Amino acid sequence: MILVTGSSGFIGRHVVKALKARGEKVVTCDYTDATVEPSDLLAFLEEVGAPIRSIIHMGAISSTTETDASKIRKVNIDFTFQLNQWCAQSGVKFIYASSAATYGLGSIGFSDREDDVYQRLLKPLNLYGRSKLLADRKVVRYRQSLEDNESQWVGLKFFNVYGEGEDHKGPMRSLVTKIRDITLKGEPVKLFGGKAIHAARDFIYVKDCINVILWFLDNKENGIYNVGTGTSRTFMEMAELTLKALGKPPVITLIDMPSALEGKYQYFTQAELRKLRSIGYENEFSSLESGITDYLVSTKG
């Protein structure tokens, strides 16, 4: 039996679907359409116990504009650590979602190192990124403090994920989905101009993220790993490729960046994948061209 938190969310839905396709018995945890609500989960785990052999923790407050520090600490840090602790003590595999938001501007690169000296140097740009970094540090310190711990733990630093099933994320949707929706409404596509016109991110297709999660389920490696393509592409490229896939001309209007984003905007991200490759992960990642095409074709109509 595998438990998935955030099962009604973007990545969580895909995880549940993939697990069921493999014939796994899945217990879901979320606020809607789930077996158990988050507030009841720890009690549920204590009651059920042994049948749970893996927890895939995708649940979180994922908004990069969230300002309630107490709320985000409770959900993204404390709850993650409680699940990590329960898994370690129960001998249950624990796979959880971290984020590339932990890297901030990337001034010291995008290495998925776990040592505290390095992690202390990371400077996330918002509460969301800081919460993910603090959760990583707590999990690592706790696992390293255990003298005898054979249960697997994995933190996955997802970069910019796009794909089917993110409509509910509102302003946090990927640019691909935003452009698809805007185009369907007949509205113009807008991107930030100025310095942001050169902004580039490591965009990863959600199907590739699921492949990584399933690989860790089938293998025993521990640690924190980047989940990106290792290639950075500009938002302009992403916009043009999306419009092309939609059969629309590449007409894009440039606008000023909102003042609220000044100093909180990641202008560049690119996953370093040496660590993931070194443990034997050999699957190739979708190019931006193939990922966008597959996504928009699979959801057409």
> Topology of 162-200+232-267+290-298 in CATH?
UDP-galactose 4-epimerase; domain 1 (3.90.25)
pTM greater than 0.85: yes
Burial class (CB in 10 A: 0-12, 13-18, 19+), 173: middle
Q: What confidence tier does 150 reach under pLDDT thresholds 50, 70, 90?
A: confident
Res 300 pLDDT > 80: no
Q: Which two tokens stand for residue 32?
A: 């809607």
pLDDT for position 147: 80
Task: Give the separation between CA 74 and CA 52, rounded to whole angstroms.
Answer: 24
Domain with CATH 3.40.50.720 in the chain: 2-161+206-228+269-285
Residue-level pLDDT at 262: 81
| 112 neighbors 275 (Cβ within 8 angstroms) | yes
CATH 3.90.25.10 domain residues, the chain: 162-200+232-267+290-298
Question: 57 in helix, strand or coil?
Answer: strand
Which active-site residues does the annotation give? 128, 169
- Per CATH, is 2-161+206-228+269-285 categorized as 3.40.50.720? yes
Cβ neighbour number for residue 225 with a 10 Å cutoff: 23
Phi, psi dihedral angles at 85 (to 5 degrees)? -65, -45
Report pLDDT for 171. 86
Among 3-12, 127-136, 162-171, which is the least confidently predicted range?
Answer: 162-171
CB 177 within 8 A of CB 162: yes
